[in-house]
A and B are shown apart, each in its own frame.
Chain A
Amino acid sequence: MVDIHQLRLDDARALLGHGALSLPNPGDSATDYLQAVLDKLSELSLKDPLTGLSNRRYFQNILSREIEVVARSGEPALLLMLDIDHFKKINDTHGHPAGDAVLQALAKTLTACVRPMDTVARYGGEEFVIILPSCQGYYGHQVAERIRESVNNATVTLASSETLQLTVSIGGAYAPRWVRSTAELWVDRADIELYRAKTEGRNRVCIEPQPMLAVSAEEKSLLFGPLSLGEPAWIESLAGDGSVGSSGSAMNRMN
C-alpha cells in the first residue's frame, strides 16, 4: 500500500490551485484522495486553460481513435479546422487581453453549435478544430455553415465595453471510410481546405469534395428489393428456406 505521507504532492496541489481545496480529506481515504488528485490532474492536462476547451493533446487522442472507428464502421466522420480571420489585427488594435476575450467568446459560440458527442478543441493560437463523428456527407457543409454564421452574427463585448464582430474561415475533410489512415493525413487534408477558404476570401467554408458516392434510397430499395424478376434469388437462399420464394413472388403479383 502507498503511504500518502511519503508522497511529494506539493507540486500537484500547486498545479490544481484552488481546485485542490475541493479534494477529499486525505485522512479519510488515501485511495479516494489520490484518485481525486489524478482525476483533476488528467482534466488539467487535457484542457486548454484559456478557453476551457479540449487542448491539442486530447484532440490528437480523439482523432486517432476516430480514425479507427471509421475504418471499422464505415460511419463518416468530419474534421473541421477553423481560424479567426484577421486575428492579429484584433490583438494589435485592442491589445492581447481583448484577443483572449475573443478566443473565449468564440469557444462558447462553437460549443453551442455542435452536438455533445462532438469534440471542440483549441488547436493552437487562434486555430480551433472540431471532430464530428457519425456525420453524413450532406450534413457536413450545413454544420460548418451554421458555425460560420453563428460566429458572424455574434458580437464580442470587450472589457472596454467596445464590441467586436468576428468572422472565421473553416476547412473540412472527411475521414476515409473503411480505410486505415493516419491522424496527420486527416489534419493535413482539413488544413488544405482551410487554406483554400482563406485564399478564396475568408469568412467561408471549404470542405474537401468526396467522390460521388451517393446511392439514393430508390436505388437501395431496388438493390435489395424485388425487381421485375421477383424477389432476388439470393435473398431467398440466404433465408435458407425455399418456401419464402413462393410467398415472395405472390407478394410481387399483388404489387
Chain B
Amino acid sequence: MIDLRTPPTVDTDASSVPLKPLGKVLAVTSGKGGVGKTFVSANLAAALAKRGQKVLVLDADLGLANLDVVLNLYPKITLHDVFTGKATIEEAIVKAPGGFSVLLAGSGMVEYSRLTPNVRNDFLKIISGLLPHYDMVLLDTGAGISDVVLFAVSLASEILVVATPEPTSLTDAYATIKVLVGEQKRRIIRIVVNQTARMGDGRAITAQLQQVLDRFVVAAPGEKVRLVHMGDIPADPSVRQAVMRRQLLIQSMPGCPAALAISQLAGKLAETLINRSA
C-alpha cells in the first residue's frame, strides 16, 4: 500500500524566490526551445569578453542544457561535483574558447531538478560567491517554464528573452513574459529576436508583444511592463556552419551579419547594464 511508504519529500517552498535579484546577473530565457538561446548566451559572452568584460556563463538548466555541446567542452569537474562536495567552485570553472568562463552543470545535476530549499540555497550561495569576480554572469536557462527555469530567472537582475519570428516561439515568449510579470513582478524585460528575415522585424515583433501585453497583462495599478528591444540577429547561413563545426560564431566568422548583430547586442548590454552599475 502506498501509505506505508516513506512520504516523498514534497517541496513546501516551491514558489519562494530570493527577495532581491542579484545585480549583474542576466538570465537568458525563451519559453520555447530551439530558438538559439544557448547560441546567443555563448556568443554574447564571447562578444562581451572581446570588449574586455569578465564574463561567466552558467549552465542553469541543471545538466539538460546544450552549453557543453555548443562549446565543445566536456570538463571532468562540474557543478555537480561542487554540489556533492567533491570539488571546489574554482575547480569547476573552465575557460571557454571565446575568452570567457563557464560553469557547466554536469549530467548528474538532473537529480537536482527537484528544487528543494537546500538546492535553492546552495545555488544562491554559489552565484553570490561568484559575482564579485565577474563583470557579468549569464544564466543560460532551460527551455520551457519549469520551476527550475523560473528559479534561475528569479536570481537575475536582468532578463533577456530570445524569440524568433515563428508563431510558436512568439506565443511561448509571450507566455513566459506573462509568468515573469505575474510571479516575479518583473517590470522590464529585454527582448532579442533571432533569425529575423529583414531589418526592423525584431522591433516590430517587440512592439507587437508590447501591445498585446498592454492590453492583457496588468502589472499593478499605474504600473506598466516595458519590453526593451535589444536588437535583431538576422537569419544567417554562417550560424548553421559555426554550429555544425561547434565553433563560436564570434570567433570563426566575426564579420558575418549575425556575429555583427551579437557584437552590437553586447555593446548595448555593456552600456546599459555593466557600466551603469559600475
Contacts and interface: CB of A to CB of B under 8 A. Distances in A.
Interface of B: 1-3, 5, 7-8, 10, 31-34, 64, 110, 113-114, 142-147, 150, 165, 167-168, 170-172, 174-175, 178-179, 182-183, 196-198, 200-202, 204-205, 207-209, 211-212, 215-216
Interface residues of A, number: 45
A196 B2 CA distance: 11
Nearest to B198: A237
A194 B147 CA distance: 20
Interface string A200-233: 0000000000011111101110111001110011
B197 A238 contact: yes
A234 B172 CA distance: 18
B2 A179 contact: no
B171 A179 contact: no
A74 B165 contact: no
B179 A178 contact: no
A198 B144 contact: no
Contacts of B208: 223, 227, 232, 234
B10 A215 contact: no
Query: B-side binding surface: helix, strand, loop or mixed?
Result: helix
B175 A71 contact: no
B144 A178 contact: yes
Given A83-B2, A191-B8, A198-B3, A222 B33 contact: no
Contact of A195 (B2, B33, B175, B215): B2
B179 A223 contact: no
Contacts of B147: 211
A178 B8 CA distance: 26
Interface stretch (A97-105, A110-118, A181-189): A181-189
A229 B114 CA distance: 44
Interface in A152-209: 169, 176-182, 185, 188, 191-192, 194-196, 198-199
A179 B174 contact: no
A219 to B, nearest CB: 5
B4 to A, nearest CB: 9
A232 B142 CA distance: 29
User: 5 closest pairs, A vs B, by CB?
Assistant: A178-B33, A233-B204, A234-B201, A178-B143, A237-B198
B1 A223 contact: no
A240 interface: yes
A189 to B, nearest CB: 8
B142 A213 contact: no
A88 interface: yes
Contacts of B216: 216, 218-219
Contact of A192 (B8, B110, B200, B212): B8
Contacts of A179: 33, 64, 142-144, 146
A112 to B, nearest CB: 24
B165 A71 contact: no
Most A Cβ at <10 Å: residue of B147, B183, B204 = B204
B1 A88 contact: yes
20 contacts: A74-B32, A178-B143, A179-B33, A185-B114, A191-B8, A195-B5, A211-B150, A218-B216, A219-B212, A222-B212, A227-B208, A227-B212, A232-B205, A234-B197, A234-B198, A234-B200, A234-B202, A234-B204, A234-B208, A238-B165
A176 B1 contact: no
A127 interface: yes
Given A71-B33, A224-B167, 15 more contacts: A126-B1, A169-B2, A176-B144, A178-B143, A179-B144, A180-B64, A181-B113, A191-B8, A199-B7, A218-B216, A223-B170, A223-B208, A229-B211, A233-B200, A238-B197
